[in-house]
Amino acid sequence: MPHRREFIKDAALLTLGIGLLPSLYSYGSGNAKPFVLPRSTPEMQGISSAGISRFLDAIKQSGQEFHSLMILRHGNVVAEGWWAPYSSEHRQQLYSLSKSFTGTAIGLAVSEGLLTIEDPIIKFFPEYLPD
Torsion angle in degrees (nearest 10) through CA of 86, 66, 107, 16: -10
* Rounded CA separation 58/66 (Å): 12
Q: pTM for the whole thing?
A: 0.53
Could you report the per-residue pLDDT of 92-110, keeping only the tens digit for each?
A: 777 888 888 888 888 999 9
Average pLDDT over residues 45-65: 93
| pLDDT over 70 (residue 66) | yes
Could you report the per-residue pLDDT of 5-50, keeping only the tens digit for each?
A: 665 655 555 554 544 444 444 444 455 566 788 999 999 999 999 9
The pair phi, psi for residue 19, each rounded to 5°, is -65, -30
All structural domains of the chain with their residue ranges: 2-128
